[in-house]
Amino acid sequence: MAQLRLFERMSAAVRQSAAARQSDAAPAPRTGDAVLRSIRDYVTKLLNSREGSTLLDPEFGMPDFTHAGIDAPGDDQPALRRKIAEFISRNEPRLTNVQVIFAPREEMRTVLSFSIQAQLQGESETSVVKLYSDVSQQGKVDVWLR
């Protein structure tokens, strides 16, 4: 089963310990839900990092998305999809077979929208993670689960 990141596991242990001390504490979230939220949060951080933002790896980060709106030339889209998929695959080891699909929305023509589909590492082929993303005009990437 895919694991939480180290600090998330440590935080969960502290929360579980505190919950055990309180008899009326809410039940802990299911592990699968916590893993999916962890993946979503980390992919959000990855996609909001910019190329050249770290000295340790100059190739770490995503290019500026703001020019790649709905009116961007079709030639840019395959390269951008490939860049996103490769970046996630390289930096999020819990996901394999990452695919990125652009999904323009009529009601939000100034926002770049795409979905990310991947398999959980070590899980069956039916364990598919689906994330949905919007890139604002300012370049901020929001990611959510459905």
Which tokens sit at 29?
A: 């979230």
Stretch 78-84: mean pLDDT, rounded?
90
DSSP label at 96? E
**DSSP bridge pairs for 62:** 50
Quote the tokens at residue 69. Answer: 């709106």
Delineate the domains of the chain, giving CATH numbers in brackets: 6-18+29-145 (3.10.450.40)
- What pLDDT does residue 10 have? 73
Backbone angles phi, psi at 87, to 5 degrees: -65, -45
| Gap between the Cα atoms of 59 and 99, Å rounded | 20
Q: Which residue has the higher pLDDT, 73 or 53?
A: 53
Question: 80 versus 39: which is more confidently predicted?
Answer: 39
141-145: strand order across its sheet: 95-102, 112-120, 128-135, 141-145
What global pTM score does this model have? 0.75
Examine the pLDDT at 79 and tell me if it is beyond 90.
no
Residue 120 backbone dihedrals phi, psi, to 5 degrees: -75, 130
Mean pLDDT of 121-139: 84
Tell me the pLDDT tens digit for each residue of 9-29: 777 776 776 666 664 545 555
* Kind plus residue range of the DSSP H or E element containing 78: helix 76-91
**How large a percentage of the chain has pLDDT more than 90?**
37
